[in-house]
């Protein structure tokens, strides 16, 4: 009897320890072992959103092949709320005109399509579009999201004067865990306070750049005076941060602008680099009306397999010469991804001798051994796979275009 009591006491203590660990956890574990994939309303629709739009997007994510390609999350950005909280409960209120059947019914509709649902709010007193923010309501809002059954929260950084970023995002992260609904936490802090140094305990991804715009490189002016980053600016800011990324904690250089006005070549390069950088793939186009070319880019299986590789290693710029950047990314099973990016306005010729290049990743300690191991070369965009690394690779790359390869061990 004495030993039975001792054993029961040990079991009880173990339960207390496990419960304590969970209660102090800053985030739910293993929600994003690979970069999240989905769609967000902001890039195309801003606050012009509605119940019918969301249902149409959900239907199109299924019918277009986006869902089958891995795009899981449908995220409703700023503008879904009424301008005031409920006067009695203090809860957020979905805009009754935009969402006449309420938010729970819409979440259930999206879930019925085999998709997951996300919402937006802000760490400040207001959202960027002026709707009610979360400051001072973190735990209440987390309970509200849990009651809706959402799966993803994008948390922005407007109206945050005198607010400490680490404290604000840490509080929201704890609130989500306390609400007991597994929700991916996307920190949209724009990289201002270097979230890559502290946010891995709070969420699954964090912004590393200013907002993106549908432009390839240079500056993009809008009528409002807002100047978003072009694609290559986001790339250049995100690339040096690769050591901070990995399974369940990803660098996020912002959403995709594929299909939003750049050329097909620029869209292809944009998507390729997001795949090489193991970035979240959050589409931002109107997928109900996308062209065949846009669909082919967003659903390319080989490119997505590079992004979703289980090792979760962010690729890096290996070399830059004559306006052509060469990127490498180690993959599972000893495979590699390679990407040649033509940043210039003129076509460029490239030659790459696999045997004479010492490709060593000093972070993951992976090494491309093309001198001793022969790899089959799969051209991700052309679909060719009739070459190997036993001879020098040659290619002509059009302006702002890319050649993306997957090297597979023979």
The secondary structure of 243-286 as a DSSP string is GG-BTTBEEE-----TTSSS-HHHHHHHHHHHHHTT--EEE-S-
Q: Which two tokens stand for residue 64?
A: 């277009």
Task: Based on DSSP, count helices (H) and strands (E) in the chain, helices before strands.
Answer: 11, 16
**Calpha distance 207→187 (Å, rounded):** 6
Contact 329, 278 (CB under 8 A): yes
List, in sequence order, every residue forming a beta bridge with 403; answer none if it has no partner: 340
**Buried/exposed code over 368-395 (b: 16+ C-beta within 10 A; e: otherwise):** bbbeeeebebbbbbeeeeeebbeeebeb
Radius of gyration (C-alpha) of the chain in whole angstroms: 23
Q: Is 252 a catalytic residue?
A: no
Q: Is 151 a catalytic residue?
A: no
Q: How many CB atoms lie within 10 A of CB 119?
A: 25
**Calpha distance 193→102 (Å, rounded):** 36
Q: Which two tokens stand for residue 365?
A: 């300690």
**Buried/exposed code over 31-56 (b: 16+ C-beta within 10 A; e: otherwise):** bbebbbbbbbbbbbbebebbbebbee
Catalytic residue among 156, 309, 335, 401: 156
Per-residue HEC secondary structure of 106-142 comes to HHHHHHHCCCEEEEEEECCCECCCCCECCCCCHHHHH
H/E stretch holding 31:
none
Backbone angles phi, psi at 223, to 5 degrees: -65, -25
**Calpha distance 192→207 (Å, rounded):** 9
**Calpha distance 44→69 (Å, rounded):** 21
Active site positions, annotated: 156, 211
């Amino acid at each position: 009897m004495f030993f039975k009591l001792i054993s029961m006491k040990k079991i009880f203590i173990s339960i207390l320890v496990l419960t304590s660990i969970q209660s102090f956890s800053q985030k739910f574990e293993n929600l994003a072992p690979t970069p999240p994939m989905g769609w967000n309303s902001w890039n195309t629709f801003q606050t012009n959103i509605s119940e019918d739009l969301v249902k149409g997007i959900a239907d199109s994510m299924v019918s277009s092949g986006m869902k089958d390609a891995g795009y899981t999350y449908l995220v409703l950005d700023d503008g879904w709320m009424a301008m005031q909280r409920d006067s009695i409960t203090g809860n957020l209120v979905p805009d009754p005109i935009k969402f006449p059947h309420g938010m729970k019914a819409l979440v259930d509709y999206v879930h019925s399509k085999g998709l997951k649902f996300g919402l937006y709010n802000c760490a400040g007193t207001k959202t960027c579009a002026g709707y009610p923010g979360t400051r001072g309501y973190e735990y209440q809002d987390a309970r509200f999201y849990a009651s809706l059954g959402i799966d993803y929260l994008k948390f922005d950084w407007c109206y945050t004067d005198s607010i400490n970023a680490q404290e604000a995002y840490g509080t929201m992260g704890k609130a989500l865990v306390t609400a007991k609904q597994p929700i991916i936490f996307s920190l949209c802090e724009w990289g201002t306070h270097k979230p890559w140094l502290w946010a891995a305990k709070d969420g699954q991804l964090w912004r590393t750049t200013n907002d993106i715009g549908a432009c390839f490189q240079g500056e993009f002016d809008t009528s409002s005076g807002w100047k978003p980053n072009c694609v290559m600016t986001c790339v250049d800011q995100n690339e040096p941060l690769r050591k901070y990324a990995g399974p369940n904690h990803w660098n996020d250089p912002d959403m995709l602008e594929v299909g939003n006005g750049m050329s097909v070549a620029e869209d292809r390069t944009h998507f390729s680099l997001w795949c090489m950088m193991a970035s979240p793939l959050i589409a931002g186009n109107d997928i109900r009306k996308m062209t065949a070319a846009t669909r082919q880019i967003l659903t390319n299986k080989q490119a997505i397999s590079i992004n979703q590789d289980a090792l979760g290693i962010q690729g890096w710029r290996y070399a830059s010469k004559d306006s052509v950047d060469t990127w490498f990314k180690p993959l599972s099973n000893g495979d590699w991804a390679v990407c040649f990016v033509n940043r210039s306005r003129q076509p460029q010729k490239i030659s790459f001798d696999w045997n004479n290049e010492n490709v060593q990743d000093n972070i993951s300690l992976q090494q491309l051994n093309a001198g001793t191991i022969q790899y089959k070369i799969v051209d991700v965009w052309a679909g060719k796979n009739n070459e190997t690394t036993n001879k020098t690779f040659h290619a002509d790359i059009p302006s702002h275009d890319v050649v993306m390869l997957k090297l597979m061990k023979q």
